């Protein structure tokens, strides 16, 4: 069973580890794979996502029963697309424990509590997580040769 944890600034090492891990970020190959996130960027990011989220952004770590960080969930309002975008990442060593589905349900519950009516995610067409989203109430809105847009009414 997972719980949500609002990271403290000193916990951001875990997000850096997630983004730098090739296996964890393999789903992101269509958009460049791993993401460099040097410590010099942490302060602005933390202020934007945690301190001054303005009710338009939500970010939490996923923590297992042993108190270990196993991933992250987030959503934000994308003004250009005029919709709320989802983010779920489970750290690769922690995968295949049912965390993905539980994380997705926790994210949808948090979004609904934040008055989000519909949550979207753009997923690379070859990403196996598509099935996870479909199994948890998301439906296909559109697709191209590169990506599929999924949505879930909350």
Q: What is the CATH number of the domain that holds 63?
A: 3.40.630.30
Is the predicted pLDDT of residue 109 greater than 80, yes or no?
A: yes
**Within a domain: residue 122?**
no
Give the pLDDT of residue 32.
Answer: 62
**Within a domain: residue 131?**
no
Is the predicted pLDDT of residue 28 greater than 80, yes or no?
A: no
**Within a domain: residue 152?**
no
Q: Report pTM.
A: 0.92
Q: Which domain holds residue 88?
A: 3-116
**Within a domain: residue 100?**
yes
Give the pLDDT of residue 128.
Answer: 85
Nearest 5 degrees, angle CA 48-CA 95-CA 87?
Answer: 25
Q: How many domains does the chain have?
A: 1
Cα–Cα distance for residue pair 58/112, rounded to 1 Å:
11
Cα–Cα distance for residue pair 62/54, rounded to 1 Å:
22
φ, ψ for residue 107, nearest 5 deg:
-65, -45
Specify burial of residue 131 (Cβ count, 10 A radius: 0-12, 13-18, 19+). Answer: exposed
E strand or H helix that includes residue 42: helix 42-46
Cα–Cα distance for residue pair 59/33, rounded to 1 Å:
21
Q: Which residue, 109, 108, 118, 127, is CA-closest to 29? A: 127
Give the pLDDT of residue 8.
Answer: 98
């Amino acid at each position: 069973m997972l719980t949500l944890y609002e990271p403290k600034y000193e916990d951001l090492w875990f997000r850096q580890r997630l983004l730098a891990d090739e296996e964890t970020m393999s789903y992101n190959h269509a958009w460049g794979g791993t993401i460099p996130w040097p410590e010099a960027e942490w302060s602005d990011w933390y202020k934007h996502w945690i301190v001054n989220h303005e009710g338009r952004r939500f970010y939490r770590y996923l923590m297992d029963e042993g108190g270990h960080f196993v991933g992250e969930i987030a959503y934000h309002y994308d003004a250009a697309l005029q919709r709320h975008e989802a983010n779920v990442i489970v750290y690769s060593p922690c995968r295949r424990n049912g965390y993905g589905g539980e994380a997705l349900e926790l994210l949808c519950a948090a979004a609904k509590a934040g008055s989000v009516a519909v949550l979207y995610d753009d997923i690379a067409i070859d990403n196996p997580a598509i099935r996870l989203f479909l199994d948890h109430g998301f439906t296909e809105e559109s697709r191209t040769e590169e990506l599929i847009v999924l949505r879930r009414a909350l």
